[in-house]
């Protein structure tokens, strides 16, 4: 969404990258969208090459030269596309590579696994406290419902992640046994036999195909004898293409 943020800002007024970076930081957008300062300048260069923005002028402050960008008509069209895309994008994607980690948990020793999980839980808990503090600051009496929901969804997501990792750590022995079962399953897995069976089932049944064609011919004759010959010719042409 960094492209959309830049185009949105420049659609309001021409400015330089540092102003956009500073506004994103002061407004707290960098926390919501995980925006890094380097990504802003990278996006500016890319948008300029795509002719979505252009340099209006350059300003010199001491030895520093800042490019003042303005949005183009092409950029406004791109901004609308970005908005359409983001509105149709899930806030939280379903599924995660993390969900397939526990069947492979036996790769690491129990001690190392617990150490990593404990540290991660501590980091998640610290992040949760940060968001709870920020929610108390931002969500006063005049806060909108959508802002409250945004904070609550973020905090609930962190709570769910903490619960997931606590379950993994508390029942690590059980999940290591499950991981061993997965390992044995892979050892006995024979893809050739499965693919052969699938290929056999996927072969077309010629007898059934012929019966279906004859039924279609019969139906066409009974429905409209005058057009039966025409429909028969169409069926025969279709059969020729299949051979």
Q: Where are the domains of the chain?
A: 2-87, 97-186, 206-242
* Angstrom distance (rounded) from CA 217 to CA 220: 5
- pTM of full prediction above 0.85: no
Chain segment 59-88, per-residue pLDDT in tens:
988 888 899 999 999 999 999 999 998 878
Residue 161: which of 80, 208, 58, 92 has the closest Cα? 92
Which residue has better confidence, 25 or 151? 151
Bridge partners, residue 53, by sequence: 71
pLDDT in tens, 32-57: 776 776 788 999 999 999 999 999 99
**Tens-digit pLDDT profile for residues 51-67:** 999 999 999 888 888 99
Q: 2-87: which CATH architecture?
A: Orthogonal Bundle (1.10)
Residue among 84, 87, 82 at smallest CA distance from 11 = 82
Stretch 16-31: mean pLDDT, rounded?
Answer: 84
Mean per-residue pLDDT for 22-30?
Answer: 81
pLDDT of residue 104: 85
């Amino acid at each position: 969404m960094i492209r959309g943020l830049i185009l949105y800002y420049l659609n309001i007024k021409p400015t330089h990258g540092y102003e956009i970076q500073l506004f994103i930081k002061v407004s707290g957008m960098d926390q919501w969208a995980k925006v890094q300062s380097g990504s802003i300048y990278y996006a500016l260069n890319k948008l300029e090459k795509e002719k979505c923005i252009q340099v209006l002028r350059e300003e010199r402050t001491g030895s520093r030269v800042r490019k003042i960008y303005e949005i183009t008509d092409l950029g406004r069209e791109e901004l609308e596309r970005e908005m359409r895309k983001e509105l149709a994008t899930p806030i939280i994607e379903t599924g995660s590579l993390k969900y397939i980690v526990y069947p492979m948990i036996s790769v690491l020793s129990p001690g190392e696994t617990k150490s990593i999980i404990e540290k991660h839980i501590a980091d998640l808990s610290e992040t949760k406290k940060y968001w709870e503090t920020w929610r108390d600051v931002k969500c006063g009496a005049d806060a909108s419902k959508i802002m409250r929901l945004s904070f609550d969804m973020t905090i609930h997501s962190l709570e769910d992640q903490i619960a997931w990792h606590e379950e993994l750590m508390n029942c690590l022995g059980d999940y290591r046994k499950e991981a061993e079962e997965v390992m044995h399953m892979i050892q006995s897995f024979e893809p050739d036999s499965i693919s052969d069976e699938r290929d056999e089932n996927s072969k077309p049944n010629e007898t059934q195909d012929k019966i279906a064609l004859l039924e279609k011919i019969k139906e066409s004759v009974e429905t409209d004898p005058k057009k039966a010959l025409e429909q028969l010719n169409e069926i025969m042409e279709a059969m020729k293409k299949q051979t």
